Amino acid sequence: MIKKYYDSDCNLGLLDGKTIAILGFGSQGHAHAQNLKESGCEVVVGLRKGSAHTAKAEAAGLKVMEIEEAAEAGDVVMMLVPDELAADIYNTQVAKHMKEGDVLMFAHGFNIHFKQINPAPYLDVIMVAPKGPGHTVRSQYLEGKGVPSLIAVHQDHSGKAKDYALAYASGIGAGRAGILETSFREETETDLFGEQCVLCGGVTELMKAGFDTLVAAGYEPEMAYFECIHEMKLIVDLINEGGFAKMRYSISNTAEYGDYRTGTRLITEETRKEMKQVLKEIQTGVFASEFIQEFKSGGKAKFLATRQVEAEHPLEKVGGELRQMMSWLKK
């Protein structure tokens, strides 16, 4: 059973007198920086020269520096840049500014677990990973609430690495909801598996297959989109609120009966076997190696070509037209 921690278990005072450098101001970066600042921490934001995010960070009252300046100023350095860029940024711009006793942080374990970043032994290396998008981390904080977060310790030079993780997590609001301790390995491997087999790869391919099956059988694309894609949010929201039980309570008996009758015909033993193979490729580094090589090539040819093919699928055109009818999506 994973142990849970709350604000009462955290000492935010550990961050007093320390400068926290947030490298990146994207989805997570903007939330971490603003929440920490409003929790009383000294925060600077590190961005590349000419970044489109500079004006946003400054408008939020944050001090913006170039990445190397921020890394030098920071006693705590949080890497909130894309996985494929993190190693190069750390190795060329950050590492030389990290001093003994500094704390290096991540919100995802990829680059540490797969040894793309190998921090000096005189650093604490920790993770704080909110289990929600940055805009939710921010909005929940503003409402006096929080998003549950994971923490992990990779390297404990000071003997206080876990305490620093708890303090930082509390500063972004996670202690209001709950902080769960894990490891870099567990967070990385489960995160990649969930994305590939269920949340992104699995769900999108299932929706696309349903859409294609109905259209090929002669049904109108609009009907196929509504039934196989649009309504997915309704089901997922119910599961998110109360698990499978609430979803099944809320749908019709017809739908529930169909759920029990058909689910295992689609997710077969062969599918489960393939999931195990995907997990093995993640655990052994096969996926990481392939991903790193694709992005090191510079052109990202396969990645961009696949993105283009997916963008041209008929469901994207149909979906775009139908969404124009939905005023609540036009916020």
CA–CA separation, 15 and 176 (whole Å):
18
* Candidate list 30, 32, 97, 108, residue with the active-site label: 108
The DSSP output letter for 279 is H
CA–CA separation, 134 and 25 (whole Å): 10
Sequence-ordered list of residues with C-beta below 8 angstroms from that of 196, at least 6 positions apart, any chain: 202, 278, 282, 287
DSSP conformational letter for 164: H
Backbone phi and psi for residue 48, each to the nearest 5 degrees, phi listed first: -70, 155
Cα distance between residue 324 and residue 320, in whole Å: 7
Tokens of 276: 């195990």
Question: Which residue type occupies 188?
Answer: T
Does 108 qualify as catalytic in the annotation? Answer: yes
CA gap 294, 211 in Å, rounded: 30
How far is Cα 70 from Cα 17, in angstroms, rounded to an integer? 16
Give the number of other Cβ atoms within 10 Å of residue 196's Cβ: 17
Identity of the residue numbered 174: A
Amino acid (one-letter) located at 31: A
Q: In what order do the strands lie in the sheet with 179-181?
A: 4-5, 179-181, 149-155, 124-130, 103-106, 76-79, 19-23, 42-47, 63-66
Which residues is 124 bridged to in the sheet? 103
Q: At what angle do helices 201-216 and 314-323 cross, to 10 degrees?
A: 90
Q: Give the integer Cα–Cα distance in Å for 81 and 186.
A: 21
AA letter at 211: F
Backbone angles phi, psi at 39, to 5 degrees: -90, 5
Q: Which positions are annotated as active-site residues?
A: 108
